[in-house]
Amino acid sequence: LPPLSDIPDQCSPSPCNPRGTVRCEDKKGDFLCHCFTGWTGVRCEKDVNECNKRNGGCDHECNNTMGSYHCSCRRGYMLVGRQMCNDVDECQDPGMCGTARCVNQDGAYDCLCETGYVYDNNTKTCLDVDECEQGVCEECVNTPGSFRCFCDGRQGKKLSHDLRSCQEITTCVSLTMKRNSRSLYLGRMFSGVPVVRLRFRRRVQTGFSAEFDLRTFDPEGVIFFAGGHLNSSWIVLAMHHGKLELQLRYGAVSRVTSSGPVVNDGQWRKISVEEQGRSLVIKIDREAVMKIAVNGDLFTLKKGLHELNLTVGGVPFKEDSLINQVNPRFDACMREWRWLTGEDTSIQETIKSNDNMQCFSTENPGTYYPGTGFALFNITYAESQSLSIQLTLRPASTVGVLLALVYQDSVPLSISLSDYHRDNQEWREYVLVAVGDVIVASAPAFLCDAEVHEVNVTVSGNLTILEVDGQPGQSHTTPGQETVDLSLPSTTFIGGLPDVPLVSTLVSSFYHGCMEVTINGLGLDLDEAFHKHNDIRSHSCPLLGGAL
């Protein structure tokens, strides 16, 4: 064997992988490659995969490299040292979620919106969810962040117990709605125009006569007009302050006479007006109460015929041309009429075919709201800065608007009957006082018993007080809540609402039943309203029977 000194250096040149070798050790005929950490093999040519053993000690991900490895963290974490992963709180960035609320999670974050909103990643804002597109209810109105199911009470519907579908509003008491087909209702037209117009022509001179039965609770209105045109001879029989009043004009002579007992007591009275010579005689129940001297003829001679115009329930000219101002609207009933001693069968046939021209068979004093339409008044409350409302009512339904103030599309105040209390989530009959759609006072009250009930509401400053039959209601006023603004130029609606948005009020249905209204001590006469639905009876109400 050659001496060891003659054996070549096995590390020159080095047989070891230079990337993985710390040094090459000559073993005198052999060699030993000393490897860097992460390398193995005789020549340190093989990479050690540290990730195969306990994931390289990494918390999350181990990434092997030639001769080494490194740890990495999943999204939402950051590397601490070489191996640990700690959560990143993305919510430290104030703009991370825009207008939404940022909530940090382990390794992530959520942008949260209030119920009824959804987060939009592009704009980083909360967008309203239109739940109505999902058909959640029969009549849906989307609101910011929510929705409400409505039923248009003006169409005779109310919300069902599922708070989604609609059902018909029904009566809760029976009404005596029988009509008399041989009677004539004089108050059918709120405009005050006559309900009947007749023209009589006679070949020979004829004296005027009229006889009829009359029943009314109305203290004022026109019963009939007879004569020619405005500037000729004519008479008007009217009711004024509950008594008969005769206005006449014969040429240049004008006269107003009132006499006799009060006759607006709801009793049938037989009334007659007759020309006797040069006098007009007016009788009540066949007793003369007026005898008025006249000089002229009610008939006008035209083309050889004596002609007379007669209108019932109004005058054929503007009422301001009357000698004594009388509101022509007259809630009254007439039967067994005879004009000029003759019976007019054409009127009878017309009345038989039209229920609206007929009277109720039995009536009480009051104002009747049929569940269709409303009356409106222009009343100013700004000067008083307080409002006192007294409602005397006999409801025929558990749902309906009693009184409301309306300003543009808003309802600054409403008093309503409802069978559901939204705030209490309770199905029960209530009287509700609301500002817009916010309840400010309420009282549970069973009013559908055919009895007379009284609802009192007082508004003064921030205070709203409700009483039902003398019992105080509950106030729902909270700090910062909207109050009734009496300074607004509101219109007063009785018995219903106009076409305002459903979201502006709690109840939208028309009131059905009898009701009398007093505001700040002044009783409202619906004949004096700015507008009234023709089916509302201003001074009479059909009898209410027992509860259904």
Where is the domain boundary, 359, 385, 413? 359
CA distances from 352 to 338, 349, 520 (A): 17, 5, 42
Alpha-carbon span 25 to 22, nearest angstrom? 10
Tell me: do 280 and 398 sit in the same domain.
Answer: no
Kindly state whether residue 197 falls inside one of the protein's structural domains.
yes
**CATH number reported for the structural domain that contains residue 10 in this entry:** 2.10.25.10
pLDDT at position 177: 78
pLDDT level of residue 424 (50, 70, 90 thresholds): confident
Tell me: do 404 and 511 sit in the same domain.
Answer: yes
Kindly state whether residue 265 falls inside one of the protein's structural domains.
yes
Q: What is the three-class DSSP state of 52?
A: helix
On the question of pLDDT at 481 being above 70, the answer is no
Where is the domain boundary, 359, 392, 426? 359
Residue range 26-62, pLDDT digits in tens:
888 888 999 988 899 999 999 899 899 999 899 999 9
Alpha-carbon span 147 to 502, nearest angstrom? 12
Confirm if 11 and 26 have CB atoms less than 8 A apart. yes
Tell me: do 110 and 236 sit in the same domain.
Answer: no
Where is the domain boundary, 325, 359, 393? 359
Least confident segment among 70-84, 117-131, 474-488: 474-488
Give mean pLDDT, residues 521-538: 93
Tell me: do 241 and 286 sit in the same domain.
Answer: yes
DSSP letters for 367-380:
-EEESS--EEE---
pLDDT level of residue 480 (50, 70, 90 thresholds): low
Kindly state whether residue 85 falls inside one of the protein's structural domains.
no
Higher-pLDDT residue of 478 and 256 is: 256
On the question of pLDDT at 287 being above 90, the answer is yes
Higher-pLDDT residue of 383 and 389 is: 389
Residue 355: φ, ψ to 5°: -60, -35
Least confident segment among 3-7, 129-133, 291-295: 3-7
Confirm if 453 and 444 have CB atoms less than 8 A apart. no
Tell me: do 121 and 138 sit in the same domain.
Answer: no
Reading phi first (left if > 0) and then psi (alpha if -120 to 50, else beta), residue 216 is in beta
| Domains: count for the chain | 5
Residue range 170-225, pLDDT digits in tens:
888 877 778 888 899 998 888 888 998 988 888 888 888 999 999 999 999 999 99
Tell me: do 235 and 303 sit in the same domain.
Answer: yes
Kindly state whether residue 142 falls inside one of the protein's structural domains.
yes
pLDDT at position 230: 73
Tell me: do 292 and 387 sit in the same domain.
Answer: no
Alpha-carbon span 86 to 88, nearest angstrom? 7
- The separation between CA 73 and the C-alpha centre of its own chain, rounded to angstroms, equals 59
Domain hosting residue 504, numbered range? 368-547
Of 416, 409, 434, 430, which Cα lies nearest the Cα of 496?
Answer: 416
Tell me: do 374 and 345 sit in the same domain.
Answer: no
Tell me: do 243 and 308 sit in the same domain.
Answer: yes
CA angle 255–260–265, rounded 5-degree value: 120
Kindly state whether residue 277 falls inside one of the protein's structural domains.
yes
**CATH number reported for the structural domain that contains residue 512 in this entry:** 2.60.120.200
Kindly state whether residue 62 falls inside one of the protein's structural domains.
yes
Kindly report the number of other CB atoms within 10 A of residue 356's CB atom: 12
**CATH number reported for the structural domain that contains residue 113 in this entry:** 2.10.25
Alpha carbon dihedral 26, 32, 33, 34, in 10-degree steps, equals -100
On the question of pLDDT at 525 being above 60, the answer is yes
Residue range 129-152, pLDDT digits in tens:
998 988 888 788 888 888 888 888
On the question of pLDDT at 547 being above 60, the answer is no
Tell me: do 25 and 155 sit in the same domain.
Answer: no
Q: Who's near 450: CB < 8 A, 6+ residues apart?
A: 173, 394, 544, 545, 546, 547
pLDDT at position 544: 66
pLDDT at position 270: 97
Give mean pLDDT, residues 68-84: 91
Average confidence score pLDDT of the chain:
89
Give mean pLDDT, residues 153-157: 89
Helices (H) and strands (E) in the chain, counts: 1, 50
Tell me: do 17 and 114 sit in the same domain.
Answer: no
Kindly state whether residue 96 falls inside one of the protein's structural domains.
yes
Of 152, 183, 187, which Cα lies nearest the Cα of 375?
Answer: 187
Kindly state whether residue 57 falls inside one of the protein's structural domains.
yes
Tell me: do 324 and 288 sit in the same domain.
Answer: yes
